[in-house]
Protein backbone atom coordinates (compact mmCIF):
# COMPACT_ATOMS: atom_id res chain seq x y z
CA UNK A 1 0.00 0.00 0.00
CA UNK A 2 1.08 3.54 -0.66
CA UNK A 3 1.47 6.09 2.09
CA UNK A 4 0.90 9.76 1.26
CA UNK A 5 4.56 10.48 1.94
CA UNK A 6 5.60 7.80 -0.52
CA UNK A 7 3.76 9.37 -3.41
CA UNK A 8 3.76 13.08 -2.58
CA UNK A 9 5.69 15.23 -5.01
CA UNK A 10 6.21 12.60 -7.67
CA UNK A 11 4.86 13.11 -11.16
CA UNK A 12 4.01 10.64 -13.90
CA UNK A 13 5.91 11.64 -17.00
CA UNK A 14 9.15 12.59 -15.23
CA UNK A 15 12.18 10.49 -14.30
CA UNK A 16 13.40 7.11 -15.47
CA UNK A 17 10.85 4.52 -16.65
CA UNK A 18 11.31 2.22 -13.65
CA UNK A 19 10.70 5.06 -11.19
CA UNK A 20 7.68 6.27 -13.13
CA UNK A 21 6.09 2.83 -13.15
CA UNK A 22 6.83 2.29 -9.44
CA UNK A 23 5.21 5.63 -8.62
CA UNK A 24 2.20 4.80 -10.77
CA UNK A 25 1.84 1.43 -9.06
CA UNK A 26 1.78 3.14 -5.65
CA UNK A 27 -0.70 5.69 -6.92
CA UNK A 28 -2.99 2.99 -8.32
CA UNK A 29 -2.84 1.12 -5.01
CA UNK A 30 -3.96 4.24 -3.15
CA UNK A 31 -6.80 4.87 -5.59
CA UNK A 32 -7.91 1.25 -5.29
CA UNK A 33 -7.92 1.60 -1.50
CA UNK A 34 -10.23 4.62 -1.82
CA UNK A 35 -12.60 2.66 -4.04
CA UNK A 36 -15.69 1.12 -2.46
CA UNK A 37 -14.94 -2.14 -4.25
CA UNK A 38 -11.16 -2.10 -3.88
CA UNK A 39 -10.81 -1.85 -7.64
CA UNK A 40 -10.01 1.06 -9.91
CA UNK A 41 -12.79 2.30 -12.21
CA UNK A 42 -12.57 0.71 -15.63
CA UNK A 43 -13.90 1.74 -19.00
CA UNK A 44 -16.87 -0.43 -20.02
CA UNK A 45 -15.46 -3.31 -22.04
CA UNK A 46 -17.59 -2.41 -25.05
CA UNK A 47 -16.09 1.08 -25.09
CA UNK A 48 -12.54 -0.25 -24.86
CA UNK A 49 -13.12 -2.68 -27.73
CA UNK A 50 -15.02 -0.19 -29.86
CA UNK A 51 -12.44 2.56 -29.38
CA UNK A 52 -9.67 0.22 -30.50
CA UNK A 53 -11.66 -0.62 -33.62
CA UNK A 54 -12.52 3.01 -34.33
CA UNK A 55 -8.83 3.99 -34.11
CA UNK A 56 -7.89 1.37 -36.71
CA UNK A 57 -7.92 3.00 -40.17
CA UNK A 58 -8.55 -0.43 -41.73
CA UNK A 59 -11.55 -1.20 -39.52
CA UNK A 60 -14.94 -1.87 -41.08
CA UNK A 61 -18.19 -0.23 -39.99
CA UNK A 62 -19.78 -3.64 -39.35
CA UNK A 63 -16.97 -4.61 -36.99
CA UNK A 64 -17.53 -1.46 -34.94
CA UNK A 65 -21.29 -2.00 -34.91
CA UNK A 66 -20.88 -5.54 -33.58
CA UNK A 67 -18.78 -4.23 -30.70
CA UNK A 68 -21.19 -1.41 -29.80
CA UNK A 69 -24.32 -3.53 -29.87
CA UNK A 70 -23.09 -5.70 -26.98
CA UNK A 71 -23.89 -2.83 -24.58
CA UNK A 72 -27.53 -1.74 -24.87
CA UNK A 73 -27.04 1.48 -22.90
CA UNK A 74 -24.11 2.73 -24.97
CA UNK A 75 -25.77 1.62 -28.21
CA UNK A 76 -28.88 3.65 -27.30
CA UNK A 77 -26.79 6.76 -26.63
CA UNK A 78 -24.94 6.35 -29.92
CA UNK A 79 -28.25 6.24 -31.79
CA UNK A 80 -29.56 9.25 -29.85
CA UNK A 81 -26.49 11.31 -30.69
CA UNK A 82 -26.61 10.35 -34.38
CA UNK A 83 -30.27 11.37 -34.53
CA UNK A 84 -29.68 14.71 -32.82
CA UNK A 85 -29.95 18.05 -34.59
CA UNK A 86 -26.15 18.31 -34.49
CA UNK A 87 -25.87 15.97 -37.48
CA UNK A 88 -28.93 17.27 -39.32
CA UNK A 89 -30.21 13.96 -40.72
CA UNK A 90 -33.51 14.19 -42.55
CA UNK A 91 -34.38 10.58 -41.78
CA UNK A 92 -34.08 8.79 -38.45
CA UNK A 93 -31.15 6.43 -37.90
CA UNK A 94 -32.72 3.08 -37.09
CA UNK A 95 -29.55 0.99 -37.01
CA UNK A 96 -26.04 1.29 -35.62
CA UNK A 97 -24.71 1.14 -39.16
CA UNK A 98 -26.75 4.24 -40.01
CA UNK A 99 -25.47 5.92 -36.83
CA UNK A 100 -21.80 5.15 -37.48
CA UNK A 101 -22.12 6.23 -41.10
CA UNK A 102 -23.77 9.49 -40.05
CA UNK A 103 -21.30 10.33 -37.30
CA UNK A 104 -18.16 8.92 -38.92
CA UNK A 105 -15.56 6.52 -37.53
CA UNK A 106 -13.35 9.23 -36.03
CA UNK A 107 -16.12 11.21 -34.38
CA UNK A 108 -17.53 7.93 -33.10
CA UNK A 109 -14.46 7.70 -30.85
CA UNK A 110 -15.62 10.89 -29.13
CA UNK A 111 -19.21 9.68 -28.84
CA UNK A 112 -18.14 6.33 -27.38
CA UNK A 113 -15.76 7.97 -24.90
CA UNK A 114 -18.46 10.34 -23.69
CA UNK A 115 -21.02 7.54 -23.41
CA UNK A 116 -18.53 5.43 -21.44
CA UNK A 117 -17.66 8.20 -18.98
CA UNK A 118 -21.33 9.06 -18.55
CA UNK A 119 -22.08 5.43 -17.70
CA UNK A 120 -19.84 5.43 -14.59
CA UNK A 121 -21.56 8.44 -13.01
CA UNK A 122 -24.86 8.50 -11.14
CA UNK A 123 -26.20 11.86 -12.25
CA UNK A 124 -28.87 11.86 -9.55
CA UNK A 125 -26.10 13.21 -7.34
CA UNK A 126 -25.50 16.96 -7.91
CA UNK A 127 -21.70 16.64 -7.61
CA UNK A 128 -21.65 13.88 -10.24
CA UNK A 129 -23.80 16.02 -12.54
CA UNK A 130 -21.42 18.93 -12.14
CA UNK A 131 -18.37 16.79 -12.90
CA UNK A 132 -20.04 15.34 -15.99
CA UNK A 133 -21.17 18.74 -17.24
CA UNK A 134 -17.67 20.15 -16.75
CA UNK A 135 -15.99 17.23 -18.50
CA UNK A 136 -18.29 17.41 -21.52
CA UNK A 137 -18.01 21.21 -21.69
CA UNK A 138 -14.20 21.10 -21.66
CA UNK A 139 -14.21 18.45 -24.39
CA UNK A 140 -16.48 20.63 -26.54
CA UNK A 141 -14.45 23.79 -25.85
CA UNK A 142 -11.21 21.95 -26.65
CA UNK A 143 -12.54 20.79 -30.02
CA UNK A 144 -13.77 24.27 -30.86
CA UNK A 145 -10.41 25.78 -29.83
CA UNK A 146 -8.56 23.26 -31.98
CA UNK A 147 -10.65 24.37 -34.95
CA UNK A 148 -10.05 28.11 -34.56
CA UNK A 149 -6.43 28.13 -33.35
CA UNK A 150 -4.89 25.16 -35.16
CA UNK A 151 -2.92 24.41 -31.98
CA UNK A 152 -3.63 20.69 -32.46
CA UNK A 153 -5.35 18.82 -35.25
CA UNK A 154 -9.11 18.89 -35.13
CA UNK A 155 -10.38 15.60 -33.78
CA UNK A 156 -7.49 15.23 -31.34
CA UNK A 157 -8.80 17.38 -28.51
CA UNK A 158 -12.21 16.03 -27.51
CA UNK A 159 -11.08 12.87 -25.71
CA UNK A 160 -8.27 14.43 -23.62
CA UNK A 161 -10.65 17.30 -22.82
CA UNK A 162 -13.30 14.83 -21.73
CA UNK A 163 -10.91 12.94 -19.44
CA UNK A 164 -8.86 15.91 -18.18
CA UNK A 165 -10.52 15.81 -14.74
CA UNK A 166 -11.08 12.07 -14.45
CA UNK A 167 -8.90 12.21 -11.33
CA UNK A 168 -11.54 14.39 -9.67
CA UNK A 169 -14.18 11.85 -10.69
CA UNK A 170 -12.19 9.05 -9.09
CA UNK A 171 -11.78 11.03 -5.87
CA UNK A 172 -15.53 11.66 -5.79
CA UNK A 173 -16.43 8.04 -6.52
CA UNK A 174 -14.05 6.72 -3.86
CA UNK A 175 -14.31 9.41 -1.19
CA UNK A 176 -17.41 11.55 -1.70
CA UNK A 177 -17.27 13.23 1.71
CA UNK A 178 -13.58 14.01 1.34
CA UNK A 179 -14.10 15.35 -2.17
CA UNK A 180 -16.88 17.65 -1.00
CA UNK A 181 -14.63 18.99 1.76
CA UNK A 182 -11.81 19.62 -0.72
CA UNK A 183 -14.09 21.54 -3.08
CA UNK A 184 -15.31 23.74 -0.22
CA UNK A 185 -11.72 24.39 0.83
CA UNK A 186 -10.74 25.29 -2.75
CA UNK A 187 -13.61 27.79 -2.94
CA UNK A 188 -12.57 29.30 0.40
CA UNK A 189 -8.96 29.67 -0.73
CA UNK A 190 -10.15 31.26 -3.95
CA UNK A 191 -7.31 30.20 -6.27
CA UNK A 192 -7.43 27.39 -8.80
CA UNK A 193 -3.95 26.04 -8.04
CA UNK A 194 -4.77 25.51 -4.37
CA UNK A 195 -6.77 22.34 -4.97
CA UNK A 196 -3.64 20.42 -5.95
CA UNK A 197 -2.07 21.15 -2.58
CA UNK A 198 -5.28 20.21 -0.77
CA UNK A 199 -5.55 16.92 -2.65
CA UNK A 200 -1.88 16.08 -2.16
CA UNK A 201 -2.21 16.66 1.56
CA UNK A 202 -5.16 14.28 1.76
CA UNK A 203 -4.07 11.55 -0.65
CA UNK A 204 -0.39 12.08 -1.45
CA UNK A 205 -1.09 13.14 -5.04
CA UNK A 206 -3.48 15.42 -6.89
CA UNK A 207 -6.25 14.78 -9.42
CA UNK A 208 -3.87 15.49 -12.31
CA UNK A 209 -1.52 12.67 -11.33
CA UNK A 210 -4.44 10.35 -10.60
CA UNK A 211 -6.07 11.15 -13.93
CA UNK A 212 -2.87 10.62 -15.93
CA UNK A 213 -2.31 7.20 -14.38
CA UNK A 214 -5.89 6.16 -15.02
CA UNK A 215 -5.79 7.50 -18.60
CA UNK A 216 -2.67 5.41 -19.18
CA UNK A 217 -4.40 2.31 -17.79
CA UNK A 218 -7.31 2.94 -20.15
CA UNK A 219 -4.99 2.99 -23.15
CA UNK A 220 -5.04 6.68 -24.01
CA UNK A 221 -2.03 7.84 -26.09
CA UNK A 222 0.96 9.30 -24.17
CA UNK A 223 0.28 12.86 -25.38
CA UNK A 224 -3.30 12.60 -24.06
CA UNK A 225 -2.00 11.37 -20.70
CA UNK A 226 0.47 14.25 -20.57
CA UNK A 227 -2.31 16.74 -21.33
CA UNK A 228 -4.38 15.30 -18.47
CA UNK A 229 -1.37 15.40 -16.13
CA UNK A 230 -0.24 18.94 -16.96
CA UNK A 231 -3.35 20.88 -17.97
CA UNK A 232 -2.85 23.16 -14.96
CA UNK A 233 0.86 23.62 -15.77
CA UNK A 234 1.29 23.06 -19.54
CA UNK A 235 4.91 24.17 -19.76
CA UNK A 236 5.95 21.05 -17.83
CA UNK A 237 4.36 18.56 -20.22
CA UNK A 238 7.17 16.36 -21.64
CA UNK A 239 4.95 15.47 -24.60
CA UNK A 240 1.78 17.06 -25.90
CA UNK A 241 2.52 20.49 -24.42
CA UNK A 242 0.41 22.19 -27.12
CA UNK A 243 -2.46 19.89 -26.24
CA UNK A 244 -2.00 20.62 -22.52
CA UNK A 245 -2.20 24.36 -23.25
CA UNK A 246 -5.33 23.81 -25.31
CA UNK A 247 -7.01 21.85 -22.50
CA UNK A 248 -6.00 24.55 -20.00
CA UNK A 249 -7.64 27.20 -22.17
CA UNK A 250 -10.77 25.08 -22.66
CA UNK A 251 -10.95 24.54 -18.91
CA UNK A 252 -10.79 28.31 -18.41
CA UNK A 253 -13.60 28.92 -20.88
CA UNK A 254 -15.96 26.56 -19.03
CA UNK A 255 -15.48 28.51 -15.80
CA UNK A 256 -16.42 31.67 -17.66
CA UNK A 257 -19.78 30.16 -18.64
CA UNK A 258 -20.60 28.65 -15.25
CA UNK A 259 -19.59 25.07 -16.04
CA UNK A 260 -16.48 24.82 -13.86
CA UNK A 261 -15.66 21.81 -11.72
CA UNK A 262 -15.59 24.01 -8.61
CA UNK A 263 -16.57 27.46 -7.36
CA UNK A 264 -13.09 28.89 -7.85
CA UNK A 265 -13.48 32.51 -9.07
CA UNK A 266 -13.66 32.79 -12.86
CA UNK A 267 -11.26 35.72 -12.95
CA UNK A 268 -8.41 33.46 -11.86
CA UNK A 269 -8.83 31.36 -15.00
CA UNK A 270 -8.04 33.03 -18.32
CA UNK A 271 -7.44 31.32 -21.69
CA UNK A 272 -4.58 33.74 -22.33
CA UNK A 273 -2.72 32.27 -19.36
CA UNK A 274 -2.43 29.06 -21.37
CA UNK A 275 -0.74 30.89 -24.22
CA UNK A 276 -3.75 30.85 -26.55
CA UNK A 277 -5.40 33.95 -27.91
CA UNK A 278 -9.07 33.79 -28.81
CA UNK A 279 -9.93 36.64 -31.23
CA UNK A 280 -13.49 37.10 -29.95
CA UNK A 281 -13.63 35.41 -26.56
CA UNK A 282 -17.18 36.53 -25.74
CA UNK A 283 -18.54 35.12 -28.98
CA UNK A 284 -16.50 31.96 -28.57
CA UNK A 285 -17.75 31.26 -25.04
CA UNK A 286 -21.34 31.77 -26.22
CA UNK A 287 -20.68 29.28 -29.04
CA UNK A 288 -19.35 26.69 -26.57
CA UNK A 289 -22.35 27.21 -24.27
CA UNK A 290 -24.75 26.77 -27.18
CA UNK A 291 -23.09 23.58 -28.41
CA UNK A 292 -22.96 22.21 -24.86
CA UNK A 293 -26.69 22.78 -24.40
CA UNK A 294 -27.36 21.00 -27.70
CA UNK A 295 -25.17 17.97 -26.95
CA UNK A 296 -25.64 17.45 -23.23
CA UNK A 297 -29.15 16.02 -23.49
CA UNK A 298 -28.06 13.46 -26.06
CA UNK A 299 -26.12 11.49 -23.42
CA UNK A 300 -28.84 11.43 -20.74
* Residue 158, CA distances (Å) to 119, 135, 211, 252 in order: 17, 10, 16, 15
Mean pLDDT to the nearest integer, 117-124: 80
Residue 228: per-residue pLDDT:
92
Model confidence at 202: pLDDT above 90 = no
Q: What is the pLDDT of residue 49?
A: 80
Full DSSP string of the chain: ---HHHHTT--TTSS-HHHHHHHHHHHHHHHHHHSSSSS-----HHHHHHHHHHH-TT--HHHHHHHHTT-HHHHHHHHHHHTSGGGT-SS---SHHHHHHHH-HHHHHHHHHHHHHHHT--TTSHHHHHHHHHHHHHHHHHHHHHHHH-SS-TTSSHHHHHTTTHHHHHHHHH-HHHHHHHHHHHHHHT-TTHHHHHHHHHHSS-HHHHHHHHHHHTT--HHHHHHHHHTTSGGG-SS-HHHHHHHHHHHHHHHHTT--SS---GGG--GGGGT---TTHHHHHHHHHHHHHHHHGGG-
Residue 6 has pLDDT above 60, yes or no: no
Q: Which residues contact 14 (CB under 8 A, 6 or more apart)?
A: 20, 238
264 falls in which pLDDT band (50, 70, 90)?
low
Distances (CA, A) of 145 to 40, 59, 81, 138: 32, 29, 22, 10
Model confidence over 125-146: pLDDT tens digits?
888 899 999 999 999 999 988 8
* pLDDT tier, 11 (very low <50, low <70, confident <90, very high otherwise): very low
The CA-CA-CA angle for residues 179, 183, 186, to 5°, reads 135
Q: Is the pLDDT assigned to residue 155 strictly greater than 80?
A: no
Q: What is the pLDDT of residues 18-59, one digit of tens each?
A: 665 676 677 777 777 766 665 556 666 777 787 788 777 788
The reported pLDDT for the residue numbered 3 is 37
Amino acid sequence: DASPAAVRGSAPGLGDPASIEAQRARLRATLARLSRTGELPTMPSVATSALAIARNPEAEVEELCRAIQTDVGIAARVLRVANSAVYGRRTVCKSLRDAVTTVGMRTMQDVLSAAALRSVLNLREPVAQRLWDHSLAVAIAAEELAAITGAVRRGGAFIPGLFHDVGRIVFFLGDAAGYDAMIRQEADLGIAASVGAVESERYGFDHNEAGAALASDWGLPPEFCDAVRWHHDPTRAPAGDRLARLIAAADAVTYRIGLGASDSPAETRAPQAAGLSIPDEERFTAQVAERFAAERAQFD
